[in-house]
Amino acid sequence: MSRFIAAFAIAALSLVLAGCASNKSASEAPPPATSTLATDSYHIGVDDIVQVSVWRNPELGITVPVRPDGKISVPLVGDVNAGGLTPAEVAKDIQEKLGAFVRDPQVAVILTDLRSHEYLSRVRVTGAVRQPVSLPYRPGMTVLDAVLAAGGVTEFAAPDRSDLHRKTAEETRTYAVRLDKILNRGDLSTNYQVSPGDVITVPERTF
């Protein structure tokens, strides 16, 4: 009987916690993971640097910029269209063409440098920072990276009221950033990875 009561209590507690989580405001919820956002759905452009890897065939691997005609040249295959396509689409095309030369090729295409859409891909830091900046996005970049590139916050800043603004196709979402905790307490819970086009704002204190 006691086991049944304990199990019932645990289940009830789980439901309460789930309800609390679902009531979190959008500003308190973390932004979606961005480790693949910038590459999986990104459409390759001229001057972007792409890396082509073929499993178990390292001699077929290359790292090249996309030419003005939107193509890259791949060993054995020759010219392949890359401009306007996603990395996955390019990998599939190369894989199909390599099938005539290599048994069951496994191809991966990775963007190593986003150059064609640099302006759209920038991350901006504004407000009470020492040097407001517009930075080229780099995979793995975090809020802390961007703020440090802006010289850190000023003495007039209210860092724990900072926000990360992210625009999607549907809306602009705002996520609370506890910058004081990141900088001074080592609390990285809101040190989110940024995405291309993100804007970080650091407000001034109200006196």
Does an H or E element contain 80, and which?
A: strand 78-81
CATH code of the domain in which 77 resides? 3.30.1950.10
Residue 178, in any domain of the structure: yes
- The residue range of the domain holding 43 is 38-113
User: Which residues have CB under 8 Å from 204's CB, separation 6+?
Assistant: 127, 128, 154, 156, 157, 158
The amino acid at residue 67 is R
Residue 7, in any domain of the structure: no
Reply yes or no on whether the pLDDT at 16 is more than 50: no
| Residue range 165-206, pLDDT digits in tens | 998 777 889 999 999 999 999 999 999 999 988 999 999 998
CATH code of the domain in which 160 resides? 3.10.560.10
Residue 59, in any domain of the structure: yes
Measured over the CA atoms of residue 169, residue 113, residue 69 and residue 92, the dihedral's sign is negative
Euclidean distance between CA atoms 87 and 83, whole angstroms? 10
| Residue range 29-61, pLDDT digits in tens | 677 655 444 456 788 988 899 999 999 999 999
Q: Are residues 192 and 124 in the same domain?
A: yes
Domain count of the chain?
A: 2
User: Mapping DSSP to helix (H, G, I), strand (E, B) and coil, where does residue 133 land?
Assistant: strand
Last residue of a domain, one of 113, 129, 163: 113
For residue 40, the model assigns a pLDDT of 65
Residue 26, in any domain of the structure: no
Q: Are residues 128 and 107 in the same domain?
A: no
